[in-house]
């Protein structure tokens, strides 16, 4: 795939299975979104999607195993943001996650991260194994 997006910033890093490391990357992402003048509403959604995906990778994918790491690729352009996160876990089937918005699941405390990512991002793709998520947000607000 050609890189026609004119990324203003990109960062590829492999981090340990430690949520503090994830927070550091997200903080950097938020700074870059601000520099690229993304609006607060879209920034909120990108922040939430990045947070959920990194936490999923560390906690559910790698089970916080200190010997496993998470690959994080984040890119920011004026009109597009790309976040690609890969863990070393066995993967999961995102379609098998029960729909948390069904009446019978409303009071189940977990299982909302995947749907929030889908709700806030423009494109969300998982690899076949289910240990890697690539998500894109296209700017829709001026």
Partner 1 sequence: MSDQKRLRVSELDGVCVVEFKDRKILDDAQIQEIGQEFHDLVEVEKKQNILLNFSHVEFLSSSALGKLISLDKQVKQRDGHLKMSNIRPEIMEVFAITRLNKLFDIKDDLPDALQAFRG
Task: Give the binding site for partner 1 (CB under 8 A).
Answer: 19, 23, 40-41, 44, 47-48, 51-52, 55, 59, 100-101, 106-110, 112-113, 115-116, 119
When the beta carbons of 12 and 111 are compared against partner 1, the nearer one is: 111
When the beta carbons of 97 and 136 are compared against partner 1, the nearer one is: 97
CB 55 to partner 1: min, Å: 7
CB 52 to partner 1: min, Å: 6
Between the CA of residue 112 and those of 99, 105, 107, what are the distances in Å?
Answer: 8, 10, 11
Residues paired with 76 in a beta bridge: 9, 81
When the beta carbons of 91 and 100 are compared against partner 1, the nearer one is: 100
CB 2 to partner 1: min, Å: 33
CB 65 to partner 1: min, Å: 15
**DSSP characters for 57-118?**
IIIIISTT-TT-EEEEEEEE-SSEEEEEEE-SS----GGGS--TTSGGGTT-SS--HHHHHH
């Amino acid at each position: 795939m050609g890189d026609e997006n004119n990324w203003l910033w990109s960062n590829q890093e492999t981090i340990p299975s430690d949520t503090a490391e994830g927070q550091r990357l997200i903080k950097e992402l938020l700074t870059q979104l601000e520099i690229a003048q993304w609006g607060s509403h879209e920034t909120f959604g990108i922040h939430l999607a990045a947070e959920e995906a990194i936490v999923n990778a560390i906690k559910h994918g790698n089970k916080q195993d200190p010997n496993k790491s998470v690959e994080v690729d984040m890119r920011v352009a004026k009109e597009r943001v790309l976040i690609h996160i890969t863990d070393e876990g066995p993967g999961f089937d995102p379609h098998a996650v029960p729909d948390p918005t069904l009446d019978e699941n409303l009071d189940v405390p977990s299982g909302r991260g995947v749907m929030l990512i889908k709700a806030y991002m423009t494109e969300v793709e998982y690899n076949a194994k289910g240990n890697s998520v690539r998500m894109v947000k296209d700017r829709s607000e001026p």
